[in-house]
């Protein structure tokens, strides 16, 4: 059996059409789940698979579903997070464009397991073409009785809608996503209560990333043991690694969880561009602390990256070469977070714009000796001191870049300043 779960059939022409999907075992997992399995059995299987959230946080999907109260009068909702805003990340676009029915099938099984009858796919606004493709696929699924009043005659009802965002990174944070879906500014909510108990419209809500949900059909068809064996026992399955930056072959590579980062860059992404030398790698989207060239001999799984004081995040790998100035990287990183802070928490709103102003001044050649320590102080003042993880997400790359490239950064400060 191939080790590819999500991109296995990507080579097929018109995979996005339901007929082609059906010819390749499409919707068989949904049939199995809805006709041969009880909700509890599905939940146990997904828990045993150790499917960890692919959006970035790595929370086990089965455990998350288990938090939803069972006997409750209120409706329950599924929100699929297709906001994909973490810089460097583009994997969900590939799944939704090439294999939209895999996502829909995952939505059906997830909803059946948790007792959900309405699901929303919250997709970033820029992906208009992708949203249209999803809507087309959803309409095909209704026509073939995979969605609607009584799916495959089982009496299980499910409606799925595509909901477009409008260009705000913060809406990838799950409670900001809920606010946005309710028609408001994307200001994250205070937790607890967690969305599993109080989510969309005050009702229990499951929020899972596109890639996470798309893994469900294979777990149902092939079993949790198989899924763990593809990846690692505590972190099952594959990841779609998105490689960008100074490599010969940027793109997506679906590989088992635990594949070595060096191997991904050199073997799969073709190594460095002609004449370029590796300087640093961001291993899990821009929020992930940076790794130096010496640190990339590492297993790409959640726990190994935490041990290396970085994170796997969305598995988006950004490769930086020797000629790139780390001050330039710092400028880009800090500009992004100062732009995307929602403004709700003072440490993040003020901290990010202040840091960005200092970095810009340094980039203009007017850095001062005390600047780097000031930035560290501001970043530390954001860590753990905001409602949502954006504060940490902004502080982590900044702190790691200064820690690992301090000498270089100091070299840009004019003597005597």
36 or 274: CB nearest other proteins: 274
Beta bridge partners of 229: none
> In angstroms, rounded to a whole number, what is the distance separating the alpha carbons of residues 318 and 332?
13
> In angstroms, rounded to a whole number, what is the distance separating the alpha carbons of residues 127 and 106?
20
Number of other residues whose CB lies within 10 A of the CB of residue 272: 19
229 or 324: CB nearest other proteins: 324
Assess 340 for contact with other proteins (CB under 8 A): yes
Assess 244 for contact with other proteins (CB under 8 A): yes
30 or 210: CB nearest other proteins: 210
Binder of other proteins out of 99, 111, 175, 180 (CB under 8 A): 180
129 or 225: CB nearest other proteins: 129
Cα angle 167-173-174, degrees, rounded to a multiple of 5: 115
Task: Report the nearest approach of other proteins to the CB of residue 273 (Å).
Answer: 9
Q: Which of residues 345-404 bind other proteins (CB under 8 A)?
A: none
The pattern of x and - marking residues 293 through 322 that bind other proteins according to CB under 8 A reads -----------------------x-x-xx-
Stated as kind and residue range, the H or E segment containing 316 is strand 316-321
Task: Report the nearest approach of other proteins to the CB of residue 202 (Å).
Answer: 9
Give the tokens for residue 6.
């999500």
Assess 172 for contact with other proteins (CB under 8 A): no
Number of other residues whose CB lies within 10 A of the CB of residue 277: 11
Give 173-228 as a DSSP string.
Answer: SHHHHHHHHTTS--PPPPSSSPTTTS-GGGS-EEEEEHHHHHTHHHHHHH-HHHHH
Binder of other proteins out of 10, 90, 226, 412 (CB under 8 A): 90
Q: In 179-197, which positions are buried (b, 16+ CB within 10 angstroms) versus exposed (e)?
A: bbbeeeebbbbeeeebbbe
Q: Which stretches does DSSP call E strand in 83-130?
A: 118-123
50 or 352: CB nearest other proteins: 352
Q: With CB under 8 A, what is the number of residues at the site for other proteins?
A: 57
Task: Report the nearest approach of other proteins to the CB of residue 67 (Å).
Answer: 21
Assess 100 for contact with other proteins (CB under 8 A): no
Q: Which of residues 105-144 bind other proteins (CB under 8 A)?
A: 124-129
Assess 201 for contact with other proteins (CB under 8 A): yes
CB 302 within 8 A of CB 288: no
Stated as kind and residue range, the H or E segment containing 317 is strand 316-321
Cα angle 254-389-93, degrees, rounded to a multiple of 5: 30
Binder of other proteins out of 336, 382, 394, 399 (CB under 8 A): 336
Assess 248 for contact with other proteins (CB under 8 A): no
Assess 98 for contact with other proteins (CB under 8 A): no
Assess 241 for contact with other proteins (CB under 8 A): no
Binding-site ranges for other proteins (CB under 8 A): 75, 84-90, 93, 124-129, 159, 161, 163-169, 180-186, 200-201, 203, 242-246, 250-252, 282, 286, 316, 318, 320-321, 324, 328-329, 332-333, 336, 339-340, 342
């Amino acid at each position: 059996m191939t080790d590819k779960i999500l991109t296995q059939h990507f080579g097929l022409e018109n995979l996005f059409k339901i007929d082609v999907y059906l010819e390749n075992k499409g919707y068989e997992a949904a049939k199995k789940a809805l006709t041969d399995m009880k909700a509890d059995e599905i939940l146990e299987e997904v828990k045993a698979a150790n499917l960890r959230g692919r959006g970035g946080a790595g929370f086990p999907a089965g455990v998350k579903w288990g938090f939803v109260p069972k006997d409750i009068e209120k409706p329950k909702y599924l929100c699929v997070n297709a906001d994909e805003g973490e810089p460097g990340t583009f994997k969900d676009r590939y799944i939704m464009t090439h294999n939209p029915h895999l996502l829909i099938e995952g939505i059906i099984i997830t909803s059946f397991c948790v007792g959900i009858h309405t699901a929303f796919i919250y997709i970033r606004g820029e992906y208009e073409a992708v949203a249209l493709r999803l809507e087309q696929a959803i309409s095909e699924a209704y026509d073939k009785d995979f969605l609607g009043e009584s799916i495959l005659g089982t009496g299980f009802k499910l409606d799925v809608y595509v909901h477009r965002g409008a260009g705000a990174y913060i809406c990838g944070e799950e409670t900001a996503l809920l606010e946005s879906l309710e028609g408001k500014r994307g200001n994250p909510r205070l937790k607890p209560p967690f969305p599993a108990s109080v989510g969309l419209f005050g009702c229990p809500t499951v929020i899972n990333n596109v890639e996470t949900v798309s893994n469900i059909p294979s777990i149902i068809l092939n079993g949790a043991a198989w899924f763990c064996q593809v990846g690692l026992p505590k972190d099952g399955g594959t990841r779609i690694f998105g490689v960008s930056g100074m490599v010969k072959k940027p793109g997506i590579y679906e590989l088992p969880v635990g594949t070595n980062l060096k191997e991904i860059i050199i073997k799969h992404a073709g190594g460095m561009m002609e004449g370029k030398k590796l300087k640093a790698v961001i291993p899990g989207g821009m929020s992930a602390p940076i790794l130096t060239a010496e640190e990339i001999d590492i297993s790409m799984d959640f726990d190994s990256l935490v041990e290396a004081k970085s994170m796997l995040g969305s598995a988006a790998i950004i490769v930086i070469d020797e000629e790139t100035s780390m001050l330039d990287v710092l400028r880009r990183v800090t500009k992004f977070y100062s732009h995307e802070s929602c403004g709700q928490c003072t440490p993040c709103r003020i901290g990010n714009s202040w840091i960005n102003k200092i970095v810009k001044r340094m980039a203009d050649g007017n850095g001062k000796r005390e600047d780097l320590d000031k930035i560290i102080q501001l970043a530390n003042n954001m860590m753990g001191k905001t409602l949502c993880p954006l504060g940490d997400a902004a502080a982590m790359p900044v702190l790691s870049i200064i820690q690992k490239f301090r000498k270089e950064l100091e070299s840009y400060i004019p003597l005597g300043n």
